[in-house]
């Protein structure tokens, strides 16, 4: 799940920063503020399905999701600030990659808020259909409880078949 925003240099949103540094409540509050600030068409969410990720790999699927989000923006942006160090060129629009950009640029922070809240909402909705995975708590991240649920119940249609767990750490009794 990724997001894109059209951002004016005139915008200033108090408390807007890297979504990972904020609580669920803070992210949801900021999302409401951003939704009221940004005109229609000035923010969009893009995603790639688990099957697409399995087919093309996680990096290429991330680019696909980014391009889907960008394509929804109206009007088209003139510059893309991208969080991270890689991006697949979007035709006709200049881009600049910014490592840790979500902590340094409010435009990237805003996009990260939309992406994270959208993903959390999806995981909460999916929890109703697949409660044994605990998605209302782990939000799809590979927690020990999530791993145990997959081992007990098998993967859901929403699990990537290409996901590789890190090996369990060996415990040494001294």
Among the four given CATH numbers 3.10.450.200, 3.10.20.440, 3.40.50.970, 3.30.420.10, the one describing domain 2-129: 3.30.420.10
Q: Model pTM greater than 0.75?
A: yes
Q: Determine the pLDDT at residue 108.
A: 98
Boundaries of every domain in the chain: 2-129
Give the count of beta carbons closer than 10 Å to the beta carbon of residue 69: 22
Residue 165 is predicted with a pLDDT of 66
pLDDT tens digits in sequence order for the chain, 174 residues long = 999 999 999 999 999 999 999 999 999 999 999 999 999 999 999 999 999 999 999 999 999 999 999 999 999 999 999 999 999 999 999 999 999 999 999 999 999 999 999 999 999 999 999 999 999 999 888 888 888 888 899 899 998 888 776 665 444 444
Contacts of 74-77 spanning 24+ positions with Cβ under 8 A: 74/40, 74/41, 74/42, 75/6, 75/41, 77/4, 77/6
């Amino acid at each position: 799940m990724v997001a894109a925003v059209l951002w004016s240099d005139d915008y200033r949103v108090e408390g807007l920063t890297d979504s990972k540094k904020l609580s669920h409540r803070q992210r949801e509050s900021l999302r409401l503020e951003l939704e009221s600030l940004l005109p229609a068409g000035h923010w969009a969410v893009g995603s790639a399905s688990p099957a697409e990720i399995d087919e093309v790999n996680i990096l290429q699927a991330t680019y696909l999701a980014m391009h889907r989000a960008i394509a929804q923006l109206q009007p088209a942006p003139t510059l893309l600030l991208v969080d991270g160090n890689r991006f697949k060129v979007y035709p006709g629009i200049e881009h600049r990659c910014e490592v840790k950009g979500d902590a340094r640029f409010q435009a990237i922070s805003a996009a990260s808020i939309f992406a994270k809240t959208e993903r959390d909402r999806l995981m909460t909705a999916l929890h109703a259909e697949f409660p044994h995975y605990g998605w209302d708590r782990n939000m799809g991240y590979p927690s020990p409880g999530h791993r145990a649920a997959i081992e007990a119940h098998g993967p859901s249609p929403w699990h990537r078949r290409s996901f590789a767990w890190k090996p369990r750490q060996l415990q040494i009794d001294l």
